[in-house]
Amino acid sequence: YLNGDSSPKGPFVPTKADYQKVYDAVARRLADETDYDDGSYGPVLVRLAWHASGTYDKETGTGGSNGATMRFAPESDHGANAGLKTARDFLEPIKAQFPWITYSDLWTLGGACAIQELGGPSIPWRPGREDRDVAACTPDGRLPDAAKDQRHIRDIFSRMGFDDREMVALIGAHALGRCHTDRSGFDGPWNFSPTVFTNEFFRLLAEEKWVQKKWNGPTQFTDKTTGTLMMLPTDMALVKDKGFKKHVERYAKDSDAFFKEFSDVFVKLLELGVPFKTDDRIVFKTSDSE
Ligand code: HIF
């Protein structure tokens, strides 16, 4: 093979079955590595997939999950990305096992896998992202600031092309995981089952009484009943704003509607700015299915 290719058939072209193998390897690693936070790396994988994607700007077509530029400083050092090295490192053994997958496909696949494995809706996913170099890093300030209000939420998410309903559906992902003082400065989980994907975020937001937490940290809110849960100022904005609140109340009552609408909008988030060559999405089999 005079051109140096390792195979007479040319470069390796992965099939759906190959991507399912990657999914299975991530799911296996999630099941094995439980000695972290609340028992799962799933939430921080969802945050990695979202921060890789949420830099998208529809006007310039820059940012988004294509490129995986968070591998490089300055993007890896942006304040909003604090703590995400944990998620990138978690996926390194998977990248070593499947060297043909790009980081940008792997990070988004990891987020889709985490949502499914933690009991969420299926997140149909398609490949096609290519890794780019440091020159493609986005400027700081494209990801949201949790200390701000509804105007900021609309500014940031309309720049990506989302409407009010989609913004609220997305933010339901805060059912997963927690805030860490050494990452964002905020502290605590949003609900009592931070490793299970549910509509609890909306139920608690709509039904609990939330009071400002008394501490030296940044302004955040705590539930009056137990004093152990948290809401960010941006989370509280969803019940202060009438246009947002009607969706909070709907999702609080109707888990099926939330799961369906969340899936659609998370698929859209992971695909922002990617020049796909296929319309064909893969619906991954979850590890507990036959
Ligand atoms: Fe988050 N988010 N997010 N987020 N986020 C944090 C943690 C997670 C915002 C702020 C924060 C989304 C939108 C917004 C997850 C997933 C999503 C933290 C805490 C902050 C401050 C980080 C830390 O200290 O470790 C803001 C301001 C958003 C816009 C309103 C998305 C919709 C909800 C897009 C989304 O999917 C996940 C999961 C976590 C938990 C990470 C963990 O390590 O447990």
User: What interface predicted TM-score (ipTM) does this complex get?
Assistant: 0.98
pLDDT in tens, 137-154: 999 999 999 999 999 999
How far apart are the CA of 184 and the centre of ligand 1, in A?
Answer: 9
pLDDT in tens, 46-97: 999 999 999 999 999 999 999 999 999 999 999 999 999 999 999 999 999 9
pLDDT over 80 (residue 32): yes
Nearest-atom number in ligand 1 for the CA of 184 is: 24
Catalytic pick among 51, 78, 174, 247: 51
Averaged pLDDT for residues 246-274: 98
Annotation marks residue 152 as catalytic: no
For ligand 1, which residues put their CB under 6 angstroms from it? 43-44, 46-47, 50, 83, 144, 146, 153, 170-171, 173-174, 176-180, 183-184, 186, 232, 234
* pLDDT band, residue 289 (cuts 50/70/90): confident
Nearest-atom number in ligand 1 for the CA of 157 is: 29
DSSP per position, 143-200: S--TTS-HHHHHHHHHHHT--HHHHHHHHGGGGS-EE-TTTTS--EESSS-TTS--SH
Predicted model pTM? 0.97
Q: Whose CA is nearest to atom 26 of ligand 1?
A: 146
Which of 137, 136, 133, 115 shows the shortest CA–CA distance to 124? Answer: 115
